[in-house]
Structure 1
Amino acid sequence: MLRFLSISRLAVIDRLELEFAPGLNVLTGETGAGKSILVGAVGLLVGGRASADLVRTGEETAAVQAIFETPDGREMIVRREVSSQGRSRAFVDGALVTGAALRDAAGALVDLHGQHEHQLLLDPSTHLDVLDEFAALTPERAAVADAFRQWQQLREERQRLATSEQQKASRVEFLTFQLAEIDRVRPQAGEDEELAATRQVLANADRLQRLCGEAYTALYEGDEAALGTLGVVWKKVGELATVDARFAPYLDARDALKSQLEDLAFFLRSYAVDIDASPARLQEIEDRLASLERLKKKHGPTLADVLTRAGELRAELCTLEHATERAAEVEAELAAARRGYLSVAGDLSSRRKAAAKEFCCALEKSLADLAMARTRCEVRFADGDDEARWTERGLDIAEFHISPNPGEEVRPLARVASGGELSRIMLALKTLATTDAPGKTLIFDEVDAGIGGAVADVVGTRLQRLARRYQVLCITHLPQIAAHGTSHYRIEKSVRGGRTVTEVAALNGVDRETEIARMIGGADVSAAVRASAREMLNFRLKAEATSSREAASSRESASSRESASAIERSSVRSVASGFSRKDRDGETKGKHKAKGKSETR
């Protein structure tokens, strides 16, 4: 559920903050006041495309932030920033996340329904998804997708194995040449780094030998060698310790220090002797490094890449050399994978066709409530025997056909649905959804496109009913829909100081009545128009109260029947919870705050 929305420097909005309530939240205002920008802002929060055009002129960044209440009651803070260069950053609970992670986190909490989604409904390729969502076939679809991927992988492997013998021989020759090129050099892991270090030593052999000799002499052999001098020092310190015990601890390190210095002296002498300063050894290392560099340039860029490439060459050669044996294995595995795919895909297809009848009945009933009482619906499936058309979605290609007018045959949805009918069909489909969690936020923009009058009133009733399970945000120009809102916000523009300012206000009482009247009769609100607005609001309140009582009565009746049935079966299961449920509509009451200002460019 969307609890709070903050928008800064986005398009025409300078700053805007809104607190939303459960139930049906309606947003009204004149065309161009900025209502759809709110939808676009929420779209950014669920992973929508960001561009520099969204940033208000003269600003560096635009920001949208929201507080959501998750189904488990936890608060989640989502933020999206867009720079004037078009770069975008997303945050969830303060942590920087990727676009995919943003879509996963916030997309599960919000559904956007605008003109784009309406147009998608005209694409038959989306109809199968709608049917599967209605029938809750997600697990079956996942199984089909897995089986299809396994089958496809084996088909691709068979295709690779089916390469002609001439191509195979040519490939073997090429791979053998490349592998021999690497094997001749016989590179070892990390060899280039070790050789580079050795080359560094040999290139400075004379200097290293000189320094070692000088250090050895100063430490061990010279007239004033450090070890000899230290012997005198320790003797003096020993005499001091016999007089003052505070010198005694320093004598403890004497033997260790002497041993370390002697070890260093011996290492200096042996190091100088062991250095191979011959030009031949240096040239040998240079030649070896050159060979390794050629391999790295061709198969690298690193020596590790060269060794990896050698392994790949050997593996492919082995595959080609045993292609005949593997081809027989793949054919057997492919046949089994095909049977497995057909089994799960066939089961999914049967479930879809069984669900299609229930889907059409439910859709027709839902459309009847939306003033499309005699609409007939069918889901038509294309023949699934063509293997070329099988996909990870299964064997089926489905398309919705409807007939909104009695006596007319059903036709593809894209060919017969008007704009108003399409809006109602989308609303009806959302009402039928079974997989969305209660409390999810549904946002409807242009749900009133192409409708009016009595149809608008039934759409408002349906939105109100939908708001018992979900939080609904609806942008509308129709008073019949706006009157059904449990919370009402007005968005309007005015000019101050030579700039246009957008303000958002939560409406109650007389203010809401005035806004409904404006939507009915325009800017000049007469007493008759105001009376019509008052009547519309009062009728909505009475209808909502009646509907709430009926819903509560239905729940109590169902709980009573469940209790009686449990007693007859001598069950110990408690049904007290059936009587303790609160009317959801009673929870929609509360204070609604809204404030905000924005300036157009």
Structure 2
Amino acid sequence: MITRLYLKGLILFDKVELELDRGLVVFSGPSGAGKSVLMNSVLSSFGYTTAEALLCELSIDRPINLHSEAYSLENEIVLKSIKRDKVRYYLDGQNISKKSLNKLFQPFVKYLSVRDKSGFASDELVKIIDNSLLTKNRSFKKLLKEYRKRYINYKIKLSQLNKIKEDEVKLAELIEFATFEIEKIESINPQIGEDEELLKIKNQLSRIDKINEALTSANDIFDVEESVIEVYRLLDKESGFFVDIMNQLRADFEDIELLTEELSEVDIEQVLNRLEQISSLKTRYGSIKKALEYAQNKKIELTGYQNIEQDKTMLKSFLEMESTELRILAGKITQYRKKEAIVIEKELEKYLFELKLPPIKFLFNPIILNELGQDRVEINLDGSTAS
């Protein structure tokens, strides 16, 4: 509550000092008398507009909920603005920036201007009615909470459906690519460690002729085996270790012969082709293991693509049902608001009468569902609307 106003050096006023009583205060006068200039100076003291007066000083009763850790506040607060080379603001004698001043008093200072109709915007009028209801009607509070919660979920699901529709153009390409990648890897059907085994076979095949040649020459050792054993016998020396060595050689040579027989049946061209396929996968994916993991991930991805159409159908069904439910809830909210609007109209009527103004009436029009419901609200004052 402003209790005192002092102005000096303001366009139409050399000096003004007013003591204000509690309650409704009205400034009246003909056009050009300075009403707007005076109000502008009051607003500038709270950091809302640019200060025009050389000096403006307001004394106000401190609002109950006004607190500040940065500034020391008295029960009667003095706001002062001084305009010289630039405007300086003071709060109980303490220097304060215009931005900080505005932020501090913003919850407590409300004003309407013929140039600014934002206070009469539909959303603002709806919030005024809702706030009046929320303080005294638990049923409305519960209803509004349910509506807002379900509407938020509805918007999320609607966004998901729109995203699916946007991606549908790319979906066929994604499915085709994923299928191609899977089939490419599965057609080769690589096995972990297969590349190492194939390289080993390749190296063996490249030396098979030399292995056979060396094996043929080495087999001559068995022609002198009996002679060596006879020498050990004549010398009365143990020949068991030599016999063991020869038996091991015989077993090893037999294994080598079996290997060369198996290698002779291997198709070298097939081995080289297989190595080329495996090598291409390793070049593309890094390793056989990573290639197999990639194929598995693509299968999961493909399953997801195939489920999108099902998800789309389910989302459409949900949104249709939820839209109906939300409209029912919004309709109930509208009924509460219309009843409360009548109460507010009656409460304002006596103030408007003192101002010699006709009664106001809230006009409701249905709109597309939004977070506040389905109401577009306007104020009608003697046939004129502001929204």
How high is the TM-score relative to the length of structure 2?
A: 0.43
- State which structure, 1 or 2, has the greater radius of gyration over its C-alpha atoms: 2
